[in-house]
Structure 1
């Protein structure tokens, strides 16, 4: 969602380069100035190196967001499978929420789908360690490699009927 540029920054794009904010001094103001320059067509005045770095950071943040949802989802699934006697509705809610976050992130960033197998394989050990910590078990009690297919991860049912009350 785009935010309007505050009125005191609207003329920032017309300021001489020496008067403009440096990226490292004030990121927010620098961004507003760069947006103003871009919208006014003053491409030659843009801070291209720092813009490229910021765009790369945006992409990395989207990757991290997807990875985070998957990491928590895998941890919850491992806990569910390892300790059926301790299942609670909150585990189900957590699985549902992480699935929602994962799906939303992929909807907004479909280019990330091609990275999901590598992502799953890279983060599974972390999910395994988290599950082991939460279950007070050794990581060796869990499979050494991710036991879940994408169908399991995204569609396997988890319901209240399987929770012992």
Structure 2
């Protein structure tokens, strides 16, 4: 008996370029049916690599947002707002969710902090109207501080 949640391989499957969702459903069906010889390996690999890039890009973006808000909190005390705290909380939660789903991403956090710090300073500088030279030249926060929901500089 066929499980309606498990797509079966389509005999005349649409091509990768024609209908991505139908193509993916077909590939899933082929995998579940152990019809490995029929898989579109080149495009499967491309999609998997794209998924990895997407996860990493999303994490880098969230790290940068947390850094911006930590810098703003530290270097513009009179303008501190509930909105900044909510953004910090939300982004830290989303980083934690990604790491929970993919623990291997945790080891990349320090590199993302280092690589995105300059951008974070540029953004914080624009938003605070303070010169970039007012901010430290290297990231002053540790990974644990980035993740710690109670940490505020």
TM norm. shorter chain > 0.5: yes
Q: 2:89, 2:149 within 8 Å by CA — same for their partners in 1?
A: no
> What is the match of residue 83 of structure 1?
76
> What is the match of residue 105 of structure 1?
98
The alignment yields a C-alpha RMSD, in angstroms, of 1.9
> What is the match of residue 128 of structure 1?
121
C-alpha distance in 1, partners of 2:149/2:16?
46
> C-alpha offsets along residues 54-81 of structure 1, whole Å, 9 cap, x if unaligned?
1111111111222121111000000001
Work out whether 1:68 is the aligned partner of 2:61. Answer: yes
Unaligned stretches of 5+ in structure 2?
Answer: none
Q: TM-score, normalised by structure 2?
A: 0.88
C-alpha distance in 2, partners of 1:142/1:106?
28
Unaligned stretches of 5+ in structure 1?
Answer: 160-165
Equivalenced residues, count: 149
> What is the match of residue 25 of structure 1?
18
C-alpha distance in 2, partners of 1:56/1:129?
30
C-alpha distance in 2, partners of 1:158/1:110?
22
